[in-house]
Structure 1
């Protein structure tokens, strides 16, 4: 498969995806050609088979690869030009992320305001433990990080004491989780929002609804602005 590709330190799956995307762009394999198996690709890149499998899944989702169970992974037939299948799917993914975050913002801002008025000391301790688990998961497996992040935010919604808000948030969790995992995997310039999460915890602990709202808005708007900017650049 040629000279080994060196990966940098950091999240592995995005780098594997980027490396494979580069190999496809440079024409290492022709359309319809079968790729080497997971073992060979993992050996060349110096990563585990699970990372290769996840990267292949993402590229198949973007229409660049065709995974045929029992047969192997093949280079898909992609229309020429920037508006090919991969570009279209990326646009759709970012548009969907914006919609998900608009709903999330509406729910979580009100939940934070109510939680700041109703939270108890034992609730603050629980949130602190969940925030610690979120911080520990940062930079690791995307799914584990997203699960820890959503556990923290779901608890905030729960502490609002509003059963309707909690029901709405719980109902969108599956879609939100899928969108967030894709965001963590695909977006390479995600801001570090640890401070915003800490600020939210501090606001809840001090019973300050205004500060809780501000921290929630900072958290969600930072990511929305990033995705919106990249989406608008691609549709120009």
Structure 2
């Protein structure tokens, strides 16, 4: 068995999806060919079966794989040449944005409440940890998209964790792979993403002061500005 690839620190599912996508792109598996089963792929990649299952689901959603229950997972046939590569990419991106819109609406609700709770529970040592996370986010801005998004989501995860609410943290953890995938795509390809650095700074300052209202306002300012881009992309007003 080939040695498992070395995965980076961070969400596993997007990395597994990227590895499988590259193997499809390279022609390792041809259209109509059956992929190794979930157990074998998980062993090859050194990850859990659930990570492989979710990555396969995402690739099937994008039309690259065909999951046939009871038969296995097969490489999907390529689209008709007349469809045009650009059209296929645009439709796939639109579907991802529509999916992200729903997730982002959930994210907004849970992070607003998390910020409110964190403002009452944050300690000086927590503020220093958040400040270090924000500094790392700032340093990575403009560089590798995946690394920047990872730092951004880690900062937000820290705020949710400081809420002291285990259910909010579980919900954030559940949507994080979707956020990572879609936000990385946006950072790489969207030319007019809003600059939310000030909103992050405002959130940290509000938490340090224990100012609930300001923490909520900074969170809304941050997430609503990105939500407006996503809504515009899927044609929702």
TM-score (norm: length of structure 2): 0.65
Question: Could you say which residue in structure 2 is the equivalent of 1:230?
Answer: 233
Cα deviation for residue 103 of structure 1 reads: 1.2
2:107 to 79, 104, 108: 104
Does residue 115 of structure 2 align to residue 157 of structure 1? no
Q: In 2, distance between residues paired with 1:221 and 1:208?
A: 20
C-alpha separation between the residues in 2 aligned to 1:82 and 1:151? 34
In 2, Cα distance between equivalents of 1:68 and 1:226: 33
* 1:1-236 correspondence to structure 2 within 5 Å: 67-70=25-28, 77-80=80-83, 84-232=87-235
174 and 81 in structure 1: CA distance in 2 versus 1, 3 angstrom threshold: closer
Alpha carbons 2:94, 2:233 under 8 Å: kept: no
Tell me the secondary structure at the aligned position of residue 210 of structure 2.
coil
Shift, 1:78, TM fit: 4.2
Q: Report the alpha carbon displacement of residue 189 of structure 1 after superposing the two structures with TM.
A: 0.8
Q: CA deviation at 1:152?
A: 0.4
Runs of 4+ in 1 over 3 A off after TM superposition: 75-84
Structure 1 counterpart SS, 2:171: helix
What is the SS of the residue equivalent to 2:195?
coil
Q: Give 1:69 shift.
A: 2.0
Secondary structure at the aligned position of 2:139 is classed as helix
Query: CA RMSD for the aligned pairs?
Result: 2.7
Consecutive unaligned residues in structure 2, runs of 5 or more: 1-17, 31-77
